[in-house]
Each structure stands twice: as C-alpha cells, then as structure tokens.
Structure 1
Amino acid sequence: MELRPPVRGIGLVELMIALTLGLVVSGAIFGIFISSRDTFRTTENLARLHDDARITFELLAREIREAGSIACGNTNVANVLNNGGTDWWANWATGPLVGYGGNTPGPRAFGSTTGDRISGTEAILLRRGNASPVIITEHNPASAQFKVNTSNHGFNDGDILMACDSQSAAIFQVTNSSQTNRTVVHNTGTGTPGNCSKDLGFPTNCNGNRKERTFAQGGYLAKYSAAFWYIGVNPRGGRSLYRMENNGAPTEMARDVTNLQLTFLTGDRAEPPQYADSFVAANSVTQWNDVVAVRVVLTHQTSEAVGTGGGPVGRSTQYVVSVRNREYVP
C-alpha cells in the first residue's frame, strides 16, 4: 500500500498575505485609473475651452472688422424702413459700431431668463452690408425694381438689403424677389417693417415729393446685418456669448463665456489721422464714427470643475481688431 503525503490547504496567514497583496496592487491600478481619467477630463475641457476661444475670436473679430462696410464705400446712407430711426437694428444713423458699458441698457434687456443680458457685462452693436454683393444691371425707381446680374442672388421676400453706387447707399426691405427674372422689388404697402417710400435717394425721403433716385448700373445690392453681441444667461443657468441679428431671436454662439470687456481707440479724419493716446471705455467715447479699433477681452471657463481647487478653470484672451473701412492706407 502506497503512502501519500498529507494534502495541506492554504493557511489563514497565507490567505491574508495574498489578499493584502491583491488589495495593494488593485489600489495602485485604481489610483492610476483615477489619475488618468482626471488628466483626460482636464485635457479635454482645456482643449474645448481653447477651441471655443478661437472660434469666438474668429466670429466676433470678423464682424468688428467689417462694421460699417458698404460695397461702394459710401457714407451717405438713406433708410426707408418704417421705424428706421427708432428700431435698434435699423437705425444706421447712430453709427455702424456702438459699444455699451456694463450698466448701459442695450437692444437685449438685463434679466435672469435664458437669452437675457447679464448686468455688469459689456456689449457691442455692429452694422454692415454683407461682403458678398451682387451687381445691379438696371434700376427702375417708378416700379421700385432692381435687376441684378445673377439668378442666384439669394435674396428673399422680407430680406433687408443695402443698395449702393458711387453717389449714395440705401437700406430697404425686399417686397418681392424673383430668381427667374433676376429682379428685386422695394415697393411700399407690404412687409414688416415695410418701406415708407420707393425713393431710395439720400437724404431719406418718406414724403414722395421729389424725383425718385435711380441707382446706376454697376452698383451693388447686399444683405444688411445688424448684430448685437453680449453675455447672456444660457439654458444651463450659466453664461454664454450671444448674438442677436436684426429683429431675430438671440443665438448662443459660445458657451461658458463669463465676461466680455471692450475698449475703443479713436482717430480723427485727417490724412494721416491722429489717433488717441490710449483705448478708452465705452462711456468715454463721444463719436462712435471715430472709432478705428476695438480691444476685446473674453473670459472663458471650462464646463466641468477640473481645477485644482475643485472649480472650473478660467482663461482670458485679449486681441485688438481694427475697423477695416476706417484704416488709413497711404
């Protein structure tokens, strides 16, 4: 009969040692996992913050550069829109670039609901003609009708346009548009706000008691835009950069933008112009048509609390944008 050695199991001490070693290894792996996850979250949030800052700069800077742009370069602008002198977006006479201090009321009211402007934050209003105009081939002021050089003009009934030639420019609403006939009509009696007159001559005439202005062949038609940029309440209860165009609803352009600061550089109309010594706040600007550059400071924060102190990480970006149609070219 063969004798076998007794079979021994794992002792309690050995089991405790094995469990302890397993817990140490698992704890180390878990710690590495948590650290890697936090690093990834921080990196992802910072990348998103920098992307938002870059996109915001591109969008806002482009509109600042193009403020006051008219394809023909005119400064004599008629406005035949009804309430064109009172509606914020239509009133070109107040200037194509206007800044608002932190407590200065603007087109969007201060408030606490989604899309409302946040008190204490600055804002800017920018008016311009679109940079992609079409060419006027014929204008009949008696029938209030333009003909243009392309059927793909992109104008629709109700659009607000700017017409210009070497003499002057005009802001009006399209009452009828046809791609087939390449026509754009600017009649009265229809549309919102509608036109007060068919006469697009400068100065504005809503009385119909003078010869109607004919725009020359080779002039331009372009869409008109008035955009109000501001810091508003977003749907998540935080802050975002908003843009409100013409009489439309506010659009959230960049989330988690907590502040917008603006200062302005002015210059006279001499050649070469004499510039102010420094950038000044909005309440120190007396003539908005003299502003030649804007310094913008945007403050962003991450959407998640990834900072070392348990809060979001914030960054500020600063840049200076010149108003292109006011640049001095020797």
Structure 2
Amino acid sequence: MYKQQGISLVELMVSITVGLVLMAGVVQLFLSSKVTFTTQQAIARVQETGRLAIDFISEDIRMAGYVGCLNTANSSDQFVNYLNNGETTLYNFAVPAEGIDEDQIDVSYPDHSSNSDVLLLRSANGAAVGVTGNTAKDRIYIENTDFEEDGCDEDEDKYSGICKEDILVIADCTKGRVFQVTEIEGSSTSDTVTLFHSDDDGFTPGNNIADSGDDATEKENYFFSDAQVFVATSTFYYIDDGTSGRPSLFREINGESQELLAGVEQMQVTYALNGGDYREAKDVADWGQLTGIRVELLVSSDDDNVLQDVQLYTFNGQEDQNPGDKRLRQVFTSTISVRSRMPLMEIGK
C-alpha cells in the first residue's frame, strides 16, 4: 500500500471552514470593540466640547458690565459714555448684554447660522491700569506698566496694553466714563503715560465731548489715584460654519473673530429681567433690567454613524428630534447671573 502524502480535499474543506468560523469571531470581536471605542470617544469629545463652551460663555456673562469696583446697577446715573453713537450696538457700554433671536436680522451683529441666537456681552474686564494723578479735562495720566514698540497697528507703540483709538473705561467706586483714546504721549522709560480724549474728527466712533469740564466747578467729572483704566470689550458669541465645514462656536472680541469649538450646532439664549422669568431676546423691552442669562447648546460628535440607532433628544423645548445621521448629540444648559447687575447688599442683611 502507498503511504498517504498531504491532506485530502475533505480535510482541506474542513480546515477552511473552521478557519472561517474563527476569523468571523475575530472580526466580530474587532468590530464590537471598534464600535465601543468610537462611541466612548464620541461621548468624551462631545462632553469636553460642551463643558468648554459653557465655561467660555459663563465666564464672560458673569463679567458682563464689569467696570472695576463701580456697581452700575446702583450707579447708572454716574456712568457716562463720551462716545459718538453711544447707544448703538457696539458702543452702548452702559448695558452689559444684549442679543438677537435666530429669526431676527441686525446688520450690526456678525453673520451667523440661521437656526441659532447671537449673544453680545460688553465689559471692561481686561487688566486694570492705575491712575497716577488727578486727571485733567482732556487727558488722563496712567502707569506705564508695559511698553511694546510698534505693538499697535500702523507702527504705533503700545503702552500698558493700550493703543491709540482704543475704547477705554476709567472708573472709581462712584463713577465711570467711556472714551476713545485720540493720542498717547509717553516713552519706553517713562513711569507715566498721558492719554488724550479729544473730539477730533477721523476717529471711529470718536468722542462727542472734548473735555470733562471745568475742574473748579465740575469736580464730579474728575478722577484721582484711586481710579483704574480698562480696555472696553464687545464680545459676540454665535454659531457659524467652521473651517471643517461643520457648525462651530465662534467668539468675536472687538471685531476679531475666532473659531472656538467645532461641533456646537445650535445655541439658544434666554434672558431674565430683575430676576423674573426667562424670555427670548425679541421679548426684552429694557436690556438695562437684565440680571441673568440662560444658555442652551446642542453639541454633536465629529463623525456620522457613531450610534447604531437614531438618537432622539429635546432642544429648545422641541422633542423627538431626528436628524437621521446617527451622530451622538447632547444638550448642555447653564443659567448664569450677571454679577454687575446684582444689587449690593447692606452689611448685616
């Protein structure tokens, strides 16, 4: 009899079948692990994006209307705006916050997604610069804390973080003024820098008051060494298409826009007046009565088909949302008080 060499066709087919079964198990295990990893990664990314977005917005809301130790809720009659068009959207620093709803149109607001609100916050929350002496009617003397040669546009030097044409706030604990710098005098070695605020043409928006009045009869318009100077900021938060082509959260500060976080699809904002119920921007009659803001964000994962089933969620009071792309989505909501609008409590109460 001949000795058997190799394997038979039946043995080969059995081996292939067993190998296919084992391979199917390995593939199934790999796919299951991949789905789990993808889902966990999407959850982590969505939660991180939502947390950071709420942190960014909340911090700026809390600081809205900040002008040093001056409480504008109790001293609004002592907060004076020297700017031209001081009641317009960009320059109305007496009001800490405003906004528009998704169906409102305002050309003074940045271009944004049509299904999201826009939030505007005004404050003077930059680094404070001390006043070195009594102010004069057309100028302010401040500390030279930092010098940056050609640090501003058009090769202008920057002093204490301030450039010519910046909009500033000077305030003590009883009064505040908003003005635009029209000229700066100083040097890299000087301890004091002089800021001028004339009503000369050629500045945007410019000042509508040339000086602070006679120091002999209008002393209430003057400031002393207990005052501080801040750079005034107008900050917009809105949703628009980012560099990836997907919706992102944007922040624009004094005209400079920055994409903060990708994946923030929608933002809805409501406002409380004098601690009352929250309402939409179009229902706010007096923004000066604002005390709190509620922000609701819808954040989605980067990739499609993260979930095996279509996800249902509730956003802005609408239930059973069904995008159909099987992205992971989560709603983040936060209610924040505007600190500058909180009344001061008397000691012992």
Query: What range is the shorter-chain TM-score in?
Result: 0.7 to 0.9
Q: Can you list the C-alpha shifts for 1:92-136, whole angstroms capped at 9, x where unaligned? A: 25x221121221223566xxxxx7311232121110011531221
- Pairing 1:1-330 to 2, within 5 Å after superposition: 6-73=3-70, 74=72, 75=76, 76-86=78-88, 88-93=89-94, 95-106=95-106, 116-130=111-125, 132-141=127-136, 144-148=139-143, 150-151=145-146, 153-174=160-181, 175-176=183-184, 178=186, 180-181=189-190, 182-188=192-198, 189=200, 192-193=203-204, 195-196=206-207, 199=210, 201=212, 213-246=221-254, 248-267=255-274, 275-276=275-276, 278-305=277-304, 306-309=306-309, 311-328=326-343, 329=345, 330=349
Under a length normalisation based on structure 1, what TM-score does the superposition of the two structures give? 0.81
Q: Bigger shift: 301-310 or 216-225?
A: 301-310
2:317 corresponds to: none
- The secondary structure found in structure 1 opposite 2:232 is strand
Counterparts of 2:206 and 2:126 in 1: how far apart (Å)? 23
Q: Distance between the aligned counterparts of 1:107 and 1:70, measured in 2?
A: 27
* Offset, 1:155: 2.5
In the superposition, relative to structure 1, how do residues 154 and 116 fare at CA in structure 2: closer, same or farther (>3 Å)? same
Distance 1:196 1:99, change over 3 A: closer
Cα–Cα, structure 1 residues 177 and 106, in superposed 2: closer, same or farther, change >3 Å? Answer: farther
The amino acid across from 1:97 in the alignment is A
Residues 67, 82 of structure 1: alpha-carbon distance in 2 compared, 3 angstrom cutoff: same
Contact 2:135 2:224 in 1 (8 A): no
Asked if the contact 1:295–1:321 (Cα under 8 Å) also holds between the matched residues in 2, the reply is yes
* TM norm structure 2: 0.77
Uncovered stretches (5+) of structure 2, i.e. residues with no partner: 148-159, 310-324
- Give the match's secondary structure for 2:296: strand
Q: Which amino acid aligns with 2:30?
A: F
Q: 1:304 to 1:158 in 2, by over 3 A?
A: same
1:91, 1:287 → 2: CA distance?
13
Q: How many residue pairs align between the two structures?
A: 304
- Indicate conservation of the 8 Å contact 2:270/2:281, yes or no: yes
Task: Give 1:270's aligned residue.
Answer: none
Q: For the Cα contact (< 8 Å) 1:118–1:233, is it kept in 2?
A: yes
1:38 deviates by 2.0
CA distance, structure 2, for counterparts of residue 325 and residue 166 of structure 1: 13
Question: How many Å separate the matches in 2 of 1:82 and 1:283?
Answer: 26
Q: Which runs of 5+ in 1 are unaligned?
A: 110-114, 268-274
CA distance in 2, matches of 1:118, 1:177: 44
Instruction: Tell me, in whole angstroms, the C-alpha distance in 2 between the residues paired with 1:249 and 1:149.
Output: 26
User: Alpha carbon RMSD of aligned pairs, Å?
Assistant: 2.8
> How far 1:229 sits from its partner (Å)?
1.1
Please give the secondary structure, in 1, of the residue aligned with 2:132: strand
Deviation at 1:7, TM superposition (A): 4.3
1:144 alignment partner AA: R
- Tell me the SS of whatever aligns to 1:54: helix
CA contact (8 A) 1:121 1:259 kept: yes
Secondary structure of the structure 2 residue equivalent to 1:92: coil
Q: CA deviation at 1:196?
A: 2.7
Corresponding residue number in structure 2 for 1:272:
none
8 A Cα contact 2:299 2:330, kept in partner = yes
**How many Å separate the matches in 1 of 2:63 and 2:265?**
25
Per the TM alignment, residue 211 of structure 1 is displaced from its structure 2 partner at its CA by 6.9
- What percentage of residue pairs aligned between the two structures are identical? 26
Q: Secondary structure at the match of 2:278?
A: coil
